[in-house]
Every structure is written in C-alpha cells, then in structure tokens.
Amino acid sequence: MKRILKISSVISFFFLLFSFHAGAQEPKISRVPPPVKSSQISADQTRRLRAFQIVWTTIAENYFDQTFNGLNWDKVRLEFEPRAKAAKNDRELHFLLQEMINRLARSHFSIIPPEVARELENVKREAAASASDQNGIDEEDDVEESTEDGDGEKEINADSIYGIGIEVRVFGNDIVVSAVEPGSPAEKAGIRTGFVIEGVNDLLFADFIKKITDLGSYAKSVEKQLPLEIVAWFFNSRTRSELSLRIIDNENRRQTLQIQREKLSGELERLVPNLPKQFLRFEKRSLTDDIGYLKFNFFTISTVDKFCDAMTKFKDKRALIIDLRGNLGGSYGTVIGIGGLLTQKQIKMGTEIHRSGSFSREINPHRKNFKGDIVILVDKLSYSAAEIFASALQENGIATVIGEQTAGEALPAVTKILPTGAIFLYPVANFKSPRGNLLEGRGVVPDIVLRNDLISLRKQQDRQLSAAIAEANRKIAEKTAKNPNLNKNDLPNAAASTVKRALPSKRVKPIQDEKALQIILDSINSIGGADELRKITSYTASGNLTIVDSGTEVKGRIEIFRRAPDKFAENLFIEGSGEIREVFNGKDHFVQSKIFGTDQTVQPAQVNELKLLADFYEILNAKSIYPKIIYRGEFERENRQVHLIEATDVNGSNVMFVFDVETGRLVNRTGTSTVNSFGDYRKVGQIFFPFWQSRTDTIVYMLNEVKFNVEIGDEVFEAAVNCFDKID
C-alpha cells in the first residue's frame, strides 16, 4: 500500500458518513455555470448566486450517480438558477437549494443553514401559541423556565447537556416513552415506558407536528427523525432548568409533571469537520455474568475509546449486545476501528462506488478483541455508519442482528461551507455491503425482525432487548454444548501474522548521465550548497494542512520531524479525527491513529522505497544511492519548464525527480508508491527550504516554522501503545 496514499486513505475515512438530523446515459453538462456580471445584480445576489453555483457544480463534478437518478442536471440548473438569483434573502435561497437537491432522492444531501434553527423556533413558538390559546396560558411566557443557583445566576455549561433521561418513539399519532434511564429525573418523577407525552411547557406536540410542514423542503427530514429531534429540541437543554411535561400514563390518566433537568452523562463532540457538535451518549453495563451491553448514539473518536475500554471490562463475558437503535451514524473510520475489536481475521466491510471507480474497504483485527458472541439491535432510526457497521458484522457471520429494518441512508458524504455561511452536506459514493447489497434505500434487514409495541412498553418490557438476551444465551449454550471445555481466552490471538517476502534481487546496470548529475548539483547549490546542507542533522517543521477530497476541503495542523540518517515522523491533527501519526524509524513504517490503531507496512518493496525517501541526504548522496541516473528531457509542467530525471537503486526501485529549469530547485519526487511536491522556498539560516509541500495532490502542507539541528528524542519515532494493543 502506498505511503502517502495510505495516510490519505486513512484521513478520508474521518470525514465521511454523517446523517444530518438536520441505465440512462450521463447528460452532457456545462460543469461551471456561466459567470454573471457583478454590475447586473447586487452584492447579496452575487453571493447567493455563487452559493447556488457551488452546490450545482459540486454535484455535477462529484456525484457518484452519473445518471443523476434520471434527472437532466443541466435542465435542473436552468430551472433553479433564475429562482436563486431572485431569492430575496439567504433563508429563501437555502430552502430553494434544499428543494433542488431533494430532487435527487438520496440521503446525505442537506443544506444546513443557521436560519433552519430560527425557523424551527418559529414553528415551536406558533405551536406553543396555539396551545396557549386553547389552555388560557399567557403567550409571553418563556417556553423554557430556568432555575437559579444561590448567587441568582442560571447554570450554563458549554460542554454539557441537561435533560430528563428518556427516549421516545412514534406510535400512530402519539409520542411514546420507549426508554427511561435508571436514576434519571424522569424515573424519579414517575415516568415509565408506554407513557404518552402530549406536550412540554406551553407546546403541544400535536400542534408542533402540524406546523412541521412550514419547514418546506426540510419537513421530510424532520419527520423521519422526529423521535430523536423531540428529545434534542424539547427535553434537552444547555442549562439546568425545569420543564413541565404533559403526559398520559399507563392508566390513561392525564398529568402534568414538573421535572428538573439534570446534567446528562455524555459529551459534545464534533463528528466531522464543518458540522456542529453533537451530544454523544455511551452506555456500558453488565446484563448478566455472561452478557455485556453497549449502547451509543454516534460513531466518533470518543466512541472508539469507550468501546475499547469496554472490551477490557467485558474480557470475561461470553456475549455482547450492541444497541444501535437511534444511532445516527457519524465518522466512517470509526466503523473500522470498532470493528477491529470484534473480529479475529480480516473481513470485508463493503465497497464504495465512486464516480471514478469502486474501492473495497476492509476491517483488520486489533490485538485486543472480543471473542464471544455478538448480537446487534437496530431499528428504523439506525442510520448511516450504524448501518454499515451492522451489515459488515452480520454478513461476515460475526453478529446476529435483531430489530427493525434500518433507515437505508448509508452514503459516504463530505461537507463544504457556502458563501452564505450554510453547510452543504453531499454524498460522494454509493455503498455495497460485503454480500453486494446496496444499503441506500434498503437498509439492513435483521436476522430476527421484531418491533416493540405499545402493549409491551406499558408492561415495562423491551421486546427487542429481551430477544437479544435470549439469542445471546442460546449462542452461549450452543457453543458450550459443542465444546464444554472451550475457554474463549484460548482462541488464537487476533492479530493475524503477515509473512514478509524477501525483496527480489535486481541487477541494475550502472548508468549515470552527466547532464542529470549536473542538474542535481545545480539544485543543491540553488538551495545553499552541499557544505551547508551537510551541517544539518535534523529539523522540525509545523504549519497548516489542507485535505482536498471530492470537491471539499478539510483544514488541520501538521508537525514534521526528521533526523539523520533515516528517520521521519509526521503528525496530523484534524478536528473530529484526532491525531494521525506516520512514522519511519529507519526500519519500520507505520500509520497510527486513535481510530485505527497501528497499520504497519510489511511488504519489502514498499519498505525499501520508504528507506530511499527517508534518507536525510538523498539528493546529496544521489550518485552513490542510485547506480542508474538518466536525464529524460525537458518538459512543461504547470506552465513552467522542468527537467525530468529517472533514478534507480540497486533493488530496482525507481524514483522520478523533477527540477524547475528557472530556479534549479526540486519541485516533485515520485516513487512507485509515493508522490511529494515542493514549492515556496524560503531562506532559513543559510538554506532555502520548501514551505509548501503536497502529498498526492490531495494533502497540502503550508509550513509556518522550520528549525534546523533540533534535538529530537527517539520516542518521536516509536509507536505509541494504545488501547487496541493492550491484551488485558
């Protein structure tokens, strides 16, 4: 696997697949709409029209379905562009854009603007006003009342969420309590599963649901995820406060309960760049001596950490129930990280179908993993990454899936920010399960289809969880009957051994072109000369990075460490992805993250190429490193003339060096599996150093600090031991 391509692939997983709770030939498309003269329209109109053009063009150039679901996308532009130009404000434009992308009838298409939240508040206020008219309540009362601490100030914690600890589902026209957290304010107030919730404070849910149609092109999305949104919008708050809950209990008695919101167990976390933070809740408990239970509502970095810790706690369990009901998805890469804790061999996760081709994705086992039986719970509110996770374990025979057919919204997606400040979420690939099932529009079909019903909930029974426990016990009994002496800890270690094949020996005939050698020497002199370069034995650099993928950009930070003779480390920091480390320590190469663990390169040919790349004095020692150095000519590259030189080492590994004719400096180095470009040379001490660098044209580094001859400890080039690697 390629070095830079490997780390690029790793990064790409982190900002894919977030479910917002907010046969024809490809038509010929004018990829970029014709420009509009700014003198013809106002500045606000220009900005809105530019936002429209970005959305339309991004889909035209990056959408995986080249038939556009049967639409003529060029005609769609002709229809919507005049309307976008005529939009009176940003709100109108955003609703218009959502209407346009809804035409494609796929998930993970969303315009997420600030005014949607404001529009929702208007709907809530109107519904509350309707309730006030019917019940004689003052319309000026606040929808939420807040308590005050002793000093008279409301308690607000920007990193916390306060709530009452319930989940709801829709049964017919009723909002019904489907789960009550033990010890929660709701339980203390006497709320039980099966209770119907008519409203909160001045708002009746019946009025609110009627008003959802006022959200126009957003209404369908709100309706689908209504049970989850009701909890987030009405029961939860950013402050410790009191709410008034109107309920019908299981004896059909109407009551109004005053409940104090308390701080919920969980944390706010940004799942992927650009999107708002979401509240992650992770539940871990033992159901029996043999069965562990995990439930979480998003796939995030923190989910992986918590899941890995749970595998330590549950190491002696014989079965595990993973509850994904109401899980909205999240970061794509976390599916691989968590999946690696549940398998003892490499398994296929599925296939991404991009516009440019198909790519198989695998889940590799970690050293630590659970070896017991697994049961997964899903429902129609299981979305996106949750669906990919469930299908991967189900179709590889690792888990039994119980519950309702999932949402069928599972497309790899990315985001970008529009000139109006709205966030544009759009899919870049379709996804097939390991057995070739398209999850979009279908979802995961459980092995045991079972729905919770109102009668069971009123009896305080969770039929789906009970079925999962029964299935886990059945599997345990079946395994024990087959081999009563089997101890799961006696199973082979999860980490599959990889056989290293010897690097084939190739005889390279020494040929060193004098012109090529002179170009290399001129390049060395252009950046400071051989004597000055040999004075440098190490350097550190830091700056910003930009990842360009499928029409979007993600920002982050980069740290680079290099030490003679042959060590390098690059640490990338991306919000929502954490730290990603790539290291070559002179012998071993690995990419390491909190999501994937450690991914090591073992193929000798690839390791050999990395050794060439890691050579601190490669250009200075080119004559001795490469017995074959050939000048391939002068060419035009990005509107500049360049020299192309091909070099081959004793093992037959080829590297192409590209030098700018005018400056003499190195602008590109391409191996069989590495691509590095260089530019913006600036003087640091006596040396000119490239402050702009790129990897495979998708990862760009813009450095802001470079230091030479810095002491760098060995620990920088060592693999960190994380939870994945600890065999408890």
**CA 270/CA 477 separation, integer angstroms:** 42
Kindly state the average pLDDT of the residues 639-657: 93
- pLDDT tens-place string over residues 665-684: 999 999 988 899 999 999 99
What superfamily in CATH does domain 115-145+157-266 come from?
PDZ domain (2.30.42.10)
pLDDT of residue 418: 93
**CA 291/CA 316 separation, integer angstroms:** 9
Q: Is the pLDDT of residue 728 over 60?
A: yes
- pLDDT tens-place string over residues 81-134: 999 999 999 989 999 999 999 999 999 999 988 655 555 555 556 555 554 444
Considering only 621-635, 664-678, 712-726, which range has the smallest mean pLDDT?
Answer: 712-726
Strands across the sheet containing 429-432: 357-363, 347-354, 429-432
Band (pLDDT 50/70/90 cuts) for residue 278 is confident
Helical axes 301-313 vs 332-339, angle rounded to 10°: 10
Contact call for residues 407 and 443 (beta carbons, < 8 A): yes
Band (pLDDT 50/70/90 cuts) for residue 40 is low
**CA 634/CA 645 separation, integer angstroms:** 9
Structure tokens at 574: 């991306």
Query: Which distant-in-sequence residues (6+ apart) come within 8 Å of 688 by Cβ?
Result: 526, 527, 528, 665, 681, 682
Average pLDDT, the chain: 84
pLDDT of residue 119: 52
Band (pLDDT 50/70/90 cuts) for residue 596 is confident
- pLDDT tens-place string over residues 447-497: 999 999 999 999 999 999 999 999 999 999 998 888 776 554 444 443 443
**Reduced 3-state DSSP string for 664-710:** CCEEEEEECCCEEEEEEEEEECCEEEEEEEEECCCEEEEEEEEEECC
Kindly state the average pLDDT of the residues 325-342: 91
pLDDT of residue 122: 58
Query: Which distant-in-sequence residues (6+ apart) come within 8 Å of 147 by Cβ?
Result: 154, 155, 240, 241, 242, 260
Contact call for residues 697 and 685 (beta carbons, < 8 A): no
**CA 594/CA 333 separation, integer angstroms:** 10
Kindly state the average pLDDT of the residues 595-611: 82
Nearest to 390 by CA among 373, 372, 374: 374
Which residues in the chain are classed under CATH 2.30.42.10? 115-145+157-266
Peptide bond into 627 cis (omega under 30): no
Query: Which distant-in-sequence residues (6+ apart) come within 8 Å of 350 by Cβ?
Result: 360, 361, 388, 391, 392, 431, 432, 433, 434, 439
Nearest to 131 by CA among 143, 113, 146: 143
Q: Find the distance separating the first CA and the last CA of the chain, reported in whole Å.
A: 31
Q: Is the pLDDT of residue 617 over 80?
A: yes
Band (pLDDT 50/70/90 cuts) for residue 331 is confident
Nearest to 589 by CA among 618, 609, 574: 609
pLDDT of residue 129: 59
**CA 129/CA 213 separation, integer angstroms:** 17
Amino acid at 595: I
- What is the value of pTM for the model shown? 0.82
Band (pLDDT 50/70/90 cuts) for residue 167 is very high
524 versus 20: the higher-pLDDT residue is 524
Structure tokens at 225: 């995820």
- pLDDT tens-place string over residues 696-711: 878 999 999 999 999 9
pLDDT of residue 145: 37
Kindly state the average pLDDT of the residues 122-147: 45
pLDDT of residue 491: 43
Helix or strand or coil: residue 401?
A: strand
pLDDT of residue 545: 92
pLDDT of residue 230: 86
Does the domain made of 511-725 have the CATH classification 2.50.20.10? Answer: yes
What is the percent of the chain with per-residue pLDDT over 70, rounded to a whole number? 84
How distant, in Å, are the alpha carbons of 193, 304, 317, 472 from that of 295?
18, 12, 16, 16
Structure tokens at 612: 């060439």
DSSP 329: B
Alpha helix positions (H), 202-341: 205-211, 219-224, 226-230, 301-313, 332-339
pLDDT of residue 263: 92
pLDDT of residue 279: 87
Which residues in the chain are classed under CATH 2.50.20.10? 511-725
Q: Is the pLDDT of residue 246 over 90?
A: yes
| Cα dihedral value 354, 360, 366, 369, nearest 10 | 100
Contact call for residues 660 and 678 (beta carbons, < 8 A): no
Kindly state the average pLDDT of the residues 299-316: 92
pLDDT of residue 480: 86
Kindly state the average pLDDT of the residues 154-161: 61
Structure tokens at 149: 């601490």
Nearest to 433 by CA among 335, 348, 376, 365: 348
Contact call for residues 678 and 688 (beta carbons, < 8 A): no
pLDDT of residue 508: 67
Band (pLDDT 50/70/90 cuts) for residue 577 is confident
pLDDT of residue 600: 82
Q: Is the pLDDT of residue 607 over 90?
A: no
Band (pLDDT 50/70/90 cuts) for residue 507 is low
117 versus 297: the higher-pLDDT residue is 297
Contact call for residues 687 and 527 (beta carbons, < 8 A): yes
**CA 437/CA 401 separation, integer angstroms:** 16
Considering only 205-214, 357-366, 375-384, which range has the smallest mean pLDDT?
Answer: 205-214
42 versus 549: the higher-pLDDT residue is 42
Q: Is the pLDDT of residue 7 over 90?
A: no
Q: Which stretch, 20-34, 212-226, 486-500, has highest mean pLDDT?
A: 212-226
What's the CATH fold of domain 271-497? 2-enoyl-CoA Hydratase; Chain A, domain 1 (3.90.226)
Q: Is the pLDDT of residue 35 over 70?
A: no
User: For residue 574, is it left (φ>0), alpha (ψ between -120 and 50) or beta?
Assistant: beta
Band (pLDDT 50/70/90 cuts) for residue 242 is very high
Signed CA dihedral, 215, 238, 426, 360: sign only: negative
Largest CA distance in the chain: 96
Which residues in the chain are classed under CATH 3.90.226.10? 271-497
Band (pLDDT 50/70/90 cuts) for residue 382 is very high
DSSP 25: P
Structure tokens at 352: 């991404």
